[in-house]
Amino acid sequence: MGAFLPNFLRLLFFAFYVLLLGRVLISWVNPRYDSPLARFLYDTTEPILQPIRRALPSTGMIDFSPFVAFILLSILAAALKIG
């Protein structure tokens, strides 16, 4: 029973990594997010990426917020000792 929370957090972090990676890959192919899968990826990752995007300086057409999110997730996983 004591391993439930670490395993759940591991699964949650992994799922978010996959969602973020999917969003990055879809943005290269379909940047308008008009398919159902693209819309799902956008809707699930945007609440995390928008605050990061607001905190970052403008870099033109390149969006570094997913990269920063990957780094922050890795740091958080290491701090929680689940990764």
Average pLDDT over residues 21-45: 92
Q: Residue 22 sits in which domain range?
A: 4-56+63-79
Across 30-34, 65-69, 75-79, least confident range: 30-34
pTM of this structure: 0.86
Single-letter code of the amino acid located at 31: P
Q: Which of 27, 52, 49, 50 is nearest to 37 (CA)?
A: 27
Task: Give the separation between CA 61 and CA 41, rounded to whole angstroms.
Answer: 20
Q: Is the pLDDT of residue 83 over 80?
A: no
Grade residue 49 by pLDDT with cuts at 50, 70 and 90.
very high
Total count of domains within the chain: 1
Look up residue 40 and give its two tokens.
């799902």
Burial 5-29 (b: 16+ CB within 10 A, else e): eeeebeeebeebeebbebbbebbee
Q: Is the pLDDT of residue 43 over 80?
A: yes
